[in-house]
A and B are shown apart, each in its own frame.
Chain A
Amino acid sequence: MKSDRGDIELAGVCKSFDGVTNVVDGVNLKIADSAYCCFIGPSGCGKTTILRMIAGHEDPTAGEIVIGGQNVVGLAPVQRRTAMMFQSYALFPHLTVRENIAFALRVRGQSKTDRLRAADAMIEKVRLTQFADRLPAQLSGGQQQRVALARAAITEPRVLLLDEPLSALDEQLRVQMRQELRRMQRELGITFIHVTHTQLEAIALADLVVVMEQGKIKQAGAAREVYARPHDRYVAEFMGGQNVLSGRVEKVNGASFVLGQAAPSGIEVPLQARSTVTVGDNVDIAVRRDDVALVRPGRDLPPGCTTSLPSRVLAIEYQGYFVKVMLDTVPDDEFVAYVPEKTFFADPFTVGDVVMATWATDSALPLA
């Protein structure tokens, strides 16, 4: 009996194309059935290769890929019951929307009436009924994407693999199609694995965000966990929204330690359960950009703030609901404060102003 479950387990998966370097290097991961999982990382980090290995378009050099309790290495995509949506959609240019969607049923030998009826039902699902007889070249990017989705979904796969599905669309459409992907995933009730290099896309969609670098998983977890509690400097910087500071531990006292830094008094950081630090260690910490408050020198710090770093305003960008203030707080790294619009304009700064950058002590996060 074939399992209908779409849970996936990667165990020690490696892939090397030249026998020397591993593009995917010992990846272990569990993805629950009917989850929406996003792989994210810079180009060349191996995320697409993992996707293609799960899809059956590439064989791993080592390791196991288990779908629904069955090792699928060496099986064709049809036997895996996976389906892939390609980056440029790869719609067949000579077939109409209806024929494209019915293609998988055609090669399975279904009769013409049966397969066209099934295709029409699917066309309705993705709201393309009026375009059923068009060729792919006559569709907009968003419509093409829906055709690709319908074509992949018609065989009722247990896993749908999407290779940068939104990268060919413009910004506005991307947000709209993102919603549609999530809606389809809920409707079909199957596992979606989505590869992207856009942080916002990943955290907006995914139940499970997998951050990759150079063939390895740096962190895998719920969107909020990866964004708000990054493991290390790489994840913090890649996911964005964080300021990363580094320094030497000067003092450890009970539940917190003090990081020697630009600030005369040092930076007080709460000691997290996972980190054990000793005096003299070099430690990275992260502070969310929207946790940073800016205070004019000489004024009182907000409650809960013990650290304040004198900084000069380098640039100001108005972003609508917040204002992005770039500071020279840390010599070589970016340091940015996202100040709520109303707060900022109550007492606006200008470029060149000296301010104190501060944050609630318990919002600082030591990184691995």
Chain B
Amino acid sequence: MSAVLAGMPKTDMSKAVAPAMTKAIAPSRGGRPWTFYVLATLFASYVIALYGPMFCIYILSFQDIRGGLVFPMKGHSLHWFVDLFTQVRTGDVKGSFDRSIKLAVIVTIITVVVSFLAGLGFRRRFRGDTFVFYMTIGSLVAPGLVLGLGTGLLFQALGLNASWYTSALGAQLSWTLPFGVLVMFAVMSRFNHVWEEAAYDLGASRWQSIWLVMIPVLAPGLVAVALFGFTLSYDEFARSLQTAGSLNTLPLEIWSMTLNVTSPSLYALGTVTTIVSFIVIGASLGAIVLIQKKRGSAAKG
């Protein structure tokens, strides 16, 4: 503020010119504006609110055998991680983890393929395209728990057994497909239609133009869709609750553990699942970077 006042016009213009010049070059000589500190505080509290609870879990999972469910921290060891995979009473962690990963992979594949095809289909307008689009993303609005319940009821009415690879798969797709399609639209909007035309002009068949031009150009976007599909499925709870049948997925297993496991091995499970998530995200980002790097290095020759 004082800097601004100092730069205010003085009656003698010839003297005022020089200080005015320095002011224009360094307008923030008086430090950052107060709004910076307000926004910085706001952001810091946001980050704490976002990651604080998770870090409580991670920290508490590294206690030793005396450990409890609340602070303060009692010793430090990997005891509860061992406990997690060896003790039967903690539940079927390994089995549910396997199922969740398999389910997430299936969901990812279906989501990527269907979203890509939808992206191809929606490049041009067609009769009823708006209706089809809203029908596709409509299920995002439906409450997951209700949708899962409905799926379970429908399977029962049809005399089918609910299981993680049938009813839960369908219920999860109702969640991942709309997301995948929306992301795909954003990805597709950056694809220049002229590239396809050029491929056709050079003699490429439809299949060749998809395989040699579209997919490579869109590859980073397709990885993003896959990442969406995987993470949405891997931690899906509401829709799976009534549709997974007798065998639990990992989120369901964790939930049931919160009801009957009273040791930090629950926290150890939280830490392990987070690590898996980060590995998947890291692998995806790595793939995108690799694709771009490959293009970059090919470019340098």
- Residues of chain A touching chain B, judged by Cβ–Cβ distance below 8 Å, are 55-57, 76-78, 83-84, 86, 88, 90-94, 96, 103-104, 106-108, 132-135, 138, 151-152, 155
A108 B298 Cβ-Cβ under 8 A: no
B198 A90 Cβ-Cβ under 8 A: yes
A84 to B198, CA, bound (A): 8
A57 B217 Cβ-Cβ under 8 A: no
Can you name 30 A-B pairs with beta carbons within 8 Å?
A: A56-B201, A57-B197, A77-B201, A77-B203, A78-B202, A78-B203, A83-B201, A84-B201, A86-B194, A86-B198, A90-B192, A91-B198, A92-B213, A92-B217, A94-B216, A94-B219, A96-B298, A96-B299, A103-B212, A106-B212, A107-B199, A107-B203, A107-B208, A132-B301, A133-B298, A134-B299, A135-B299, A138-B299, A151-B202, A155-B202
Among residues of B, the one whose C-beta sits closest to the C-beta of A136 is B299
Residue of B205, B212, B296, B299 with most chain A CB atoms under a 10 A cut-off:
B299
Contact of B202 among A93, A96, A103, A135 (CB under 8 A): A103
B204 CB within 8 Å of chain A: yes
B200 CB within 8 Å of chain A: yes
- For chain B residues 193-250, which have a beta carbon within 8 Å of chain A? 194-195, 197-205, 208, 212-213, 216-217, 219
A77 B194 Cβ-Cβ under 8 A: no
Residues in A with CB closer than 8 Å to B192 are 88, 90
Residue of B194, B203, B219, B298 with most chain A CB atoms under a 10 A cut-off:
B203
Q: How many A-B residue pairs have CB under 8 A?
A: 74
Residues in B with CB closer than 8 Å to A135 are 295-296, 298-299
- For chain B residues 165-216, which have a beta carbon within 8 Å of chain A? 192, 194-195, 197-205, 208, 212-213, 216
A88 B201 Cβ-Cβ under 8 A: no
B203 A133 Cβ-Cβ under 8 A: no
B300 CB within 8 Å of chain A: yes
List 5 A-B pairs, minimum CB-CB distance, nearest first: A133-B301, A104-B202, A90-B198, A78-B203, A90-B194
B195 A90 Cβ-Cβ under 8 A: yes
Residues in A with CB closer than 8 Å to B298 are 96, 133, 135
Among residues of A, the one whose C-beta sits closest to the C-beta of B301 is A133
A84 to B202, CA, bound (A): 8
Residues in A with CB closer than 8 Å to B201 are 55-57, 77, 83-84, 152
A136 to B257, CA, bound (A): 55
A107 B216 Cβ-Cβ under 8 A: no
Q: What is the 8 Å Cβ interface bit string for chain B, positions 237-268, against chain A (1 contact, 0 not)?
A: 00000000000000000000000000000000
- Given A57-B197, A90-B197, A94-B216, are A155 and B295 also a contact pair (CB < 8 Å)? no
Contact of A92 among B198, B205, B300 (CB under 8 A): B198
- For chain B residues 109-135, which have a beta carbon within 8 Å of chain A? none
Residues in A with CB closer than 8 Å to B200 are 57, 76-77
Among residues of B, the one whose C-beta sits closest to the C-beta of A161 is B201
Residues in A with CB closer than 8 Å to B208 are 107
Among residues of B, the one whose C-beta sits closest to the C-beta of A151 is B202
Residues in A with CB closer than 8 Å to B198 are 84, 86, 90-92
Among residues of A, the one whose C-beta sits closest to the C-beta of B198 is A90
Among residues of B, the one whose C-beta sits closest to the C-beta of A96 is B298
A108 to B199, CA, bound (A): 12
